[in-house]
Structure 1
């Protein structure tokens, strides 16, 4: 079918998207995140699980379904390189927390309350939300897995949702040098990850606090033995410091297979070591701005040439809105540029981080952080068909589209997610999910919330959600308002 014929083609029905039938996006503004960059009025043909062709006015096989993408932007699916998916069942509960309150709630007080079914419910909701909002690949930084039964529950949830996932296995209630070397964990790995699968991969997730003995050595050795990448919270103010980076570097564990989450409060030598060894940084801007790990690290990462990806962290605080994450990242980076310039009495005359850079972080940056840059992250023939059509004919914010990259970052939103494709499967079309109902998942989450709340008790539940504020000192003001006078008068009586 020619492009001219597409103009009169009817919109496909959701049930017509089948595994054996090719489909094509017609007349989109295509952001390839690859050569040639942006294609105005471009087409993308999908056959099976892969992108077959990209370009204007594509000739397609007879019977190909036509998706009218005019007035829309077609991008690769977003890639979230760090999300604690199991915590989504308590969405927003910690919205007023500082980082220390997060640690106290999960690590010291209530972490043992959560069951495998609670991990399952949180993962299920988070996985659905991922594909619904155009995040086609999500790394589940799953540090609530106290034993392999929890791991099986996390996997079961991820397998129910047709997204692409990486289970980053962790256990914050036990030492990684212990659980990563148990027969039970090794059996979990062999049972579930014995053959390559781009739809479900495994990493190890653990942190290095910097204790003198460096017991995490055994966990890094386990990762190396199993051929697994490692994701670790680094540069978290007061928790994971430069000492940990030094230990990892001296032991030879800093490689391109390591992702450093946050990396927001390290010294120059640590950033140089990450850059020199090919590591990547996962920046979670909304988290770093609110929780205090340090200033969001995209600004320093680009100065050292460290590849950067974007992540949401946890919905116990923030949303899973990747548009918000991109917007926050670009704004925080530019704010830091201005602050640094103002400190030396200079003015920024050109923004160094561009919207195009942030779109790349959200796509190819994430793919690189997961070791999947040859599989996903760009609209390239031969790569897996993970695609996002941003289109909303009823939204004033979607017209006009003048600067496609800036439009994705600063204008579009989750309400504009029209079509989502994962591995060649259309999971959302015309703004509606296909065969993915919320109600049964919401029921499981509600049951999990009710259980956790019952274990805490009403008082602890309320106190956890509303942490007590320390007393704050008000700055003394020497100026007072004089009644009947429009001026403000200093305490001394001077005007």
Structure 2
């Protein structure tokens, strides 16, 4: 196959179409037009051989590093799995692949701190669900999920995350109801070369499984190193009895981070937080997902503990778990990360979630001001804040900020490069504001995880999308045939009030 297809150079603002030099000499790639991306099919060794240094040249680098800020016309050199250097006119290492990116935006990869990956094969089924509809469905569907269905959801979820520039995702794996389901979930995450944190959970509120030896088994068998792409923690519901307390105590005593659902409207969320605090279970290694509909006392306790929150604005606004608490969380100084929650109803990209957070909080601030007969003179929550939540904030919540979350020399090379030749990316006057409000998943040109290029010119590399589709469609067929087509239609289209 002709890897270049006889493309003409992209003259606008100096972007180059790819040309490959002889072996041992720098190889140059570039950003593509949509037509080029659609027609190109090139294997990874053709463009990005394993171990070859990578130089991204001339981008506007939004580093998320407080000391560096936004760097126009800047190069980023990647050697093996790490960012070697950030600066202007860097010398390419011998044999490096060069991506000409003048005018394009380069950001650290997004970090999603709470996503039920096993539900990915149900994409869109819950678009019109309330939390009540969801709980009804979860009483019906999870018992039908075989280990291969968990695998299919996790595999598709990882492929989806990589394609959308979510280079690290926490899998809140409460579909892992047996050891076989758990192993299938881990197998799927490890089969896709993205970065993931597998949070072992189970659907029933009974947490006795945590101390049964099952967590010890899978930790020893599958998670021997903190340096592997997929690492482990626990996904636990708030404890309500001594069995739950024992599960959380296991996490504390074994130094295993916990991600927990807390603060749903109508639930006893304040008592949950008090119990966690009284037992000294909350710490900076704890992330509380949703965290809506609680009293100021609860937010104060969370702030004092150093725990993080993971805000899922699209899910919360549509299903009714509670209004996104961005303002009150900021007021108490609680560190924030963002999350998709599930592809079951909502988008899997962080662009949508950043916009949802901004729109919900700003709309509320304006509404309250209007109720007082006032106008808002200046906005407190900025685009830069939510971009931080979606990148470095997520890395901090996972205890990985020393390794990912910013474009800083020495950190692991998890990078997302956005094209600059689409209508939505022209012109860029305010890089961060543009990224948050105007960019989308279709503008992602290149995704790098751990120094490895997994997407370029809009095309996945070394990531098997056709397999993901086949697996997900098989799970869909299984679920529909199990409950019947009429029941399936009634499930995804619940009656109106």
Q: Structure 2 length normalisation: TM-score?
A: 0.90
Query: Residues 129-160 of structure 1, C-alpha deviation per residue, up to 9 Å, x if partnerless?
Result: 10011000000011111111111100111111
2:207 matches 1:207: no
TM-fit CA distance, 1:190: 1.1
Who is 1:285 aligned against?
A: 313
Q: Give, in whole Å, the separation in 2 of the partners of 1:459 and 1:64.
A: 57
Pairwise CA RMSD? 1.7
TM-fit CA distance, 1:197: 2.6
2:478 matches 1:448: no
Alignment of 1:295-306 (within 5 A): 295-306=323-334
TM-fit CA distance, 1:174: 5.3
2:390 matches 1:358: no
2:370 matches 1:342: yes
TM-fit CA distance, 1:295: 1.0
TM-fit CA distance, 1:237: 0.8
Alignment of 1:374-385 (within 5 A): 374-385=402-413
Q: Is the 8 A contact 1:6 1:26 kept in 2?
A: no
Query: Residues 321-377 of structure 1, C-alpha deviation per residue, up to 9 Å, x if partnerless?
Result: 211111111111111211222233332111101111111111001101111111100
Alignment of 1:259-408 (within 5 A): 259-393=287-421, 395-408=422-435
Residue aligned with 2:384, SS: helix
TM-fit CA distance, 1:46: 0.3
Query: Residues 22-81 of structure 1, C-alpha deviation per residue, up to 9 Å, x if partnerless?
Result: 111111000000021100101100000000000111123232221011121000000011
Who is 2:167 aligned against?
A: 136
Alignment of 1:405-444 (within 5 A): 405-444=432-471
Who is 1:459 aligned against?
A: 486
Residue aligned with 2:68, SS: coil
Query: Residues 71-111 of structure 1, C-alpha deviation per residue, up to 9 Å, x if partnerless?
Result: 210000000111101101011111111001111211x2332
Q: Give, in whole Å, the separation in 2 of the partners of 1:153 and 1:186.
A: 17
Match of 1:234 among 251, 254, 262: 262
Query: Residues 266-316 of structure 1, C-alpha deviation per residue, up to 9 Å, x if partnerless?
Result: 101110111111111100110111111111122211111111111101111
Match of 1:247 among 265, 272, 275: 275
Who is 2:131 aligned against?
A: 99
> Which consecutive unaligned segments of at least 5 residues does structure 1 have?
471-495
Alignment of 1:155-234 (within 5 A): 155-173=186-204, 175-176=206-207, 178-208=208-238, 211=240, 213=241, 215-234=243-262
Q: Give, in whole Å, the separation in 2 of the partners of 1:247 and 1:214.
A: 11
TM-fit CA distance, 1:214: 5.2
TM-fit CA distance, 1:9: 8.3
Q: Which of 1 and 2 has greater Rg?
A: 1
Q: Is the 8 A contact 1:275 1:304 kept in 2?
A: yes
CA gap of 1:436–1:9, structure 2 versus 1, over 3 A, is closer
Q: Give, in whole Å, the separation in 1 of the partners of 2:320 and 2:58.
A: 44
Who is 1:119 aligned against?
A: 150
Who is 2:4 aligned against?
A: none
Q: Give, in whole Å, the separation in 2 of the partners of 1:102 and 1:425.
A: 37
TM-fit CA distance, 1:219: 1.1
Query: Residues 99-126 of structure 1, C-alpha deviation per residue, up to 9 Å, x if partnerless?
Result: 01111211x2332111111110011111
Q: Give, in whole Å, the separation in 2 of the partners of 1:244 and 1:132.
A: 37
Aligned length: 461
Residue aligned with 1:381, SS: coil
2:64 matches 1:37: no
Query: Residues 206-228 of structure 1, C-alpha deviation per residue, up to 9 Å, x if partnerless?
Result: 212x74x3542111111123221
Runs of 4+ in structure 1 deviating by more than 4 angstroms, as ranges, are: 5-9
